[in-house]
Structure 1
Amino acid sequence: MSRKITFLTLFLWLMTVTFPVIAQQKADTTCIFRFVPQKDMFYVPWKGNDTELARLLEYIENNKATILDGKLPLLVDGYCKSQGSKAENLATAKIRANRVKSELIIRAKIKEENFITHNHATEGDFVTVRLTVPVKETAVTDAEAEARLAVEPTVAGRRERQKAEAAAQQNALADTPSETKLTNDYHLSLRANLLRWVTLTPDLGLEWRICPSWGIAVNGSWTSWTWSDKDRRYALWEVAPEVRYYMGEKKAWYLGAMFKAGQFNYKLSETGKQGDLMGGGITAGYQLRLNKALALDFNLGLGYLNADFEKYEVIDGVRVRCGNETKNWCGPINAGVTLVWKLF
């Protein structure tokens, strides 16, 4: 009888130690966002970044309260090794990490303090975001527990995993698309030349970006003012279509060809001038991005204009023609500080 009791006690002890182990486990979730070598712009719909972003946002939403309480930080690591020096690599890695964090802050409504960020001048051209998500309690065997302990993340283990991820990213980036596909950040925008508006000449236009390097723009102006009992007049309309070629890495500088046509009626002195104008020339400019939706377009046009007009005087409220004239002009034909608003 004593042998049975001893055996039963030993058996129960072994069952307690060896088989069901109830433990709170945590699952590491790592999302990888790929970047083009030497560039810091975060292109969401590229190389699976949109899928990774959706997956990460789901994890954040499911654990948002814990994240906002500071109990579950998001570990962000920025990487770059495609620049010329270590300082440039670290600067680019920092910008990349900040762009990913900005996207998460906007979309997931979290804060900067919910991140722990490290930047690296090695490995590859990507950003990783990792969080340790608690999972439900499960019963595991002793063998499973030992296996999990064997792969429990350590500092060395994380480094090895990051190296493996970097190698995978290098293989994935082997077929990096051309710059034309990467900088196509808008297709249609609304334009307003602020210099025209300052002179009380309403001006609006559109630009259609056919591709990152080529765009078609058209601006139109119209105004009609009279004063001094209609003895003075300032009126005109103009249409100016333009073809542009954008240059450089950021596609900010451009050269273009413009055509201009319109009519005018000026009477700023005793003699008025009313007629047609037509001409064209080359344009050059620079677009300064203010944010994702707005930019300032600084431009200047040089070329030729022909003005064919009649001269007139106003006698007793009646316009009396007093000759006609033609003038040709070579030089500046257009200037603008244009506010550009991206529509889509």
Structure 2
Amino acid sequence: MQQGDIVKYPRWNVGTNLLEWIGVMPDLKYTTWASNVHGEFYFKKQYSVLLSAAYSEHHYSHGDKFQGFTSYIVEPRYWLRKDATFQGFFGGIYGQLGDYNDIDLERKYTGHFWGAGLSAGYLYPVWRGLAVEFNIRAGYRSTEVKKYVYNDAGDRCLCQRIDKNQFKLTGFALNISWRF
């Protein structure tokens, strides 16, 4: 490989989703930023498995509000090119689970979620091991929402439980990664 050449036959990929760092949610609404990382292993010329984790714990409005979540994704992928370069278009299936908290002075939402569905994307190698990828996910999501309120004594009281089960857009990614 000459200096400046793109990694032609990668085995691993490590990166991050830039959209999560700036707080863009799957429904394209803005929320708190999230640190995140992913790793991907390539094998058999057309297959890979991506593992992703995201975490956020953010206090704002002078500490009166809080938003936090964790998310974990496993995504096996099939690459359309059959040459072991793992670039261009891919499709996959994914599984996701996580939890969240959204708190202000009057109420608190907390809960867990899980989901599964299909993904599709495109990866473009830029320079050496550097690559840019766009990915979209859609599928089924099951969410358990517990709404708490605070009484006059400051105690937290469960006032509502909502279970949401729906098919929806569950993720966008603009990944930047290093392949080796």
TM-score strictly above 0.5: yes
Counterpart code for 2:75: E
Does residue 276 (structure 1) correspond to residue 112 (structure 2)? The answer is: yes
Is the partner of 1:195 in helix, strand or coil? helix
Greater mean deviation of Cα atoms: 322-331 or 299-308: 322-331
Is the partner of 1:216 in helix, strand or coil? strand
How many angstroms apart in 2 are the aligned matches of 1:339 and 1:221?
Answer: 15
Matched with 2:163 is: 326
Flag the structure with higher helix content.
Answer: 1
Flag the structure with higher strand content.
Answer: 2
1:23-58 deviations in whole A, cap 9, x for unaligned?
A: xxxxxxxxxxxxxxxxxxxxx6xxxxxxxxxxxxxx
Change beyond 3 A, Cα 1:268–1:299: farther
Is the partner of 2:34 in helix, strand or coil? coil
1:246-265 deviations in whole A, cap 9, x for unaligned?
A: 01366410000000000111
Change beyond 3 A, Cα 1:317–1:292: farther
Higher RCO structure, 1 or 2 (CA under 8 Å, sep 6+): 2
Q: Is the 8 A contact 1:191 1:219 kept in 2?
A: no
Matched with 1:304 is: 140
1:3-33 deviations in whole A, cap 9, x for unaligned?
A: xxxxxxxxxxxxxxxxxxxxxxxxxxxxxxx
Matched with 2:27 is: none
Does residue 217 (structure 1) correspond to residue 53 (structure 2)? The answer is: no
1:201 to 34, 41, 55: 34
Alpha-carbon deviation of 1:209?
A: 0.5
After TM superposition, the score normalised by the length of structure 1 is 0.45
Q: Is the 8 A contact 2:17 2:173 kept in 1?
A: yes
Structure 1: unaligned runs, 5 residues or longer:
1-43, 45-102, 108-182
Q: Is the 8 A contact 1:263 1:275 kept in 2?
A: yes
Alpha-carbon deviation of 1:184?
A: 6.5
The aligned runs of 1:1-344 (5 Å cut-off) are 103=2, 106=3, 185-199=9-23, 200-228=33-61, 230-248=63-81, 251-267=87-103, 270-315=106-151, 317-342=154-179, 344=180
How many angstroms apart in 2 are the aligned matches of 1:253 and 1:269?
Answer: 46
Is the partner of 1:300 in helix, strand or coil? strand
After TM superposition, the score normalised by the length of structure 2 is 0.83
Q: Is the 8 A contact 2:98 2:114 kept in 1?
A: yes
1:74-128 deviations in whole A, cap 9, x for unaligned?
A: xxxxxxxxxxxxxxxxxxxxxxxxxxxxx3xx49xxxxxxxxxxxxxxxxxxxxx
Matched with 1:165 is: none
1:150-182 deviations in whole A, cap 9, x for unaligned?
A: xxxxxxxxxxxxxxxxxxxxxxxxxxxxxxxxx
Q: How large is the Cα RMSD of the aligned pairs? A: 2.2
1:121-160 deviations in whole A, cap 9, x for unaligned?
A: xxxxxxxxxxxxxxxxxxxxxxxxxxxxxxxxxxxxxxxx
Alpha-carbon deviation of 1:317?
A: 4.8
Q: Is the 8 A contact 1:313 1:322 kept in 2?
A: yes
List 4+ stretches of structure 1 deviating above 6 A: none
Give percent identity, aligned residues only: 21
Counterpart code for 2:170: I
1:195-216 deviations in whole A, cap 9, x for unaligned?
A: 0011110010100011330000
Is the partner of 2:95 in helix, strand or coil? strand
Q: Is the 8 A contact 1:231 1:314 kept in 2?
A: no
Is the partner of 1:248 in helix, strand or coil? coil
How many angstroms apart in 2 are the aligned matches of 1:208 and 1:307?
Answer: 30
Counterpart code for 1:223: S
Is the partner of 2:127 in helix, strand or coil? coil
Alpha-carbon deviation of 1:185?
A: 0.9
